[in-house]
Structure 1
Amino acid sequence: MKSINFELQEHSLFSSQWSLLYCLKKNGSMTQKEMAEYLHVESPTITRTLLKLEESGHIKRQSGIDKRERVVSLTEKALTCFPSVDESVRRHERNMLCRLSVNEKQQLAALLEKIEYVEERR
């Protein structure tokens, strides 16, 4: 985590914040509860991270259908900076993967697919 946080430092973000931004970009607006369930993170943790993202102007939260529900969406600021942050993360991933042999990369891909499959079945 330290290395990805170092990479994200130039964007004034942490990995936990990037996870939420990426989740919203991929899935569109979501409630805080949906985000917590999707990312398997405790609701208080999501709330704290969203507060920081709201303060920095990356997300906005609005009341949902149920007054207790909060719907989270990306702001124009987040959408504008997303490609640059995404490229930093991808560069970091490439740097991490370049240490692996072709066989190790195949094994990793197979294990990640297996984990995803198991996760979907829960």
Structure 2
Amino acid sequence: MATHELFHTIHQLSRELTKLINQTLQPFGLYSAQWAVLFVLKEEGSMSQSDLCEYLAVEAPPMTRTIQRLIKQDYVRYTQGADKRVKMIHLTEKAETAYPEWEQAVLSANEKLLAGMPDEKRIVMQTLLASWLGTLKGVSHE
């Protein structure tokens, strides 16, 4: 198989997954980029914008726009970090309250996406993708 076919397929898969998550989150007024930020903050706790950018592999300008939208929706807020030059981003109480409903919608969409795929194939795919991502992140930090 030519590598360009592999990467084209991965790109197309990524676009389809993003489209499905956007459709799933539309009733909540959210998009996949916003969900990614909300998910990371819920799982990892408050973070600086630069840490969010690095974690999600997103450039600063689109991250700033995403965070500003989430602030307007009252889902995140800034607070002063231990280092006064750093602002930390936190989920608001409104986001904490709504999060379980968002998460359930995303989990349901994920299950539909994986319907018919045996558990052993899911495990292999997760292992391969996690390994590849770890390698890529290691390379990007050298």
- TM-score class normalised by the smaller sequence: 0.7 to 0.9
Q: Aligned runs of 1:27-106 on 2, under 5 Å?
A: 27-102=44-119, 104-106=121-123
Question: How far 1:70 moved relative to its partner?
Answer: 1.7
User: Residue 99 of structure 1: CA displacement?
Assistant: 4.2
Query: Counterpart amino acid of 2:90?
Result: S
Task: Name the Cα RMSD after superposition.
Answer: 1.9
Describe the superposition over 1:86-120 as per-residue Cα deviations: whole angstroms up to 9, x where unpaired: 01111011000014345543431231232244256
Q: Does 1:110 align with 2:127?
A: yes
**SS of the counterpart of 1:60?**
strand
Aligned-pair CA distance for 1:38: 1.1
What corresponds to 1:12 in structure 2? 29
Q: How many residues get paired? A: 122
Deviation at 1:7, TM superposition (A): 0.3
Worse overlay, 111-120 or 33-42: 111-120
In structure 1, distance between residues paired with 2:77 and 2:119 = 42
What is the CA distance between 1:66 and its match in structure 2?
4.2
**Partner letter of residue 97 of structure 2?**
T
| DSSP-derived class of the 1:13 partner | coil
* Distance change in 2, residues 1:98/1:29 (3 Å): same
Structure with greater contact order relative to length (CA < 8 Å, sep ≥ 6) = 1
Question: Higher Cα Rg: structure 1 or 2?
Answer: 2
Percent identity between the two aligned chains: 34
TM-score, reference length from structure 1: 0.88
Deviations 1:40-59 (A, max 9, x none): 11111111100000000000
| 1:30 shift after superposition | 0.7
38-47 or 100-109: bigger deviation: 100-109
Q: Which letter does structure 1 place at the counterpart of 2:69?
A: K
Equivalent-residue separation in structure 2 for 1:80 and 1:102 (angstroms)? 32
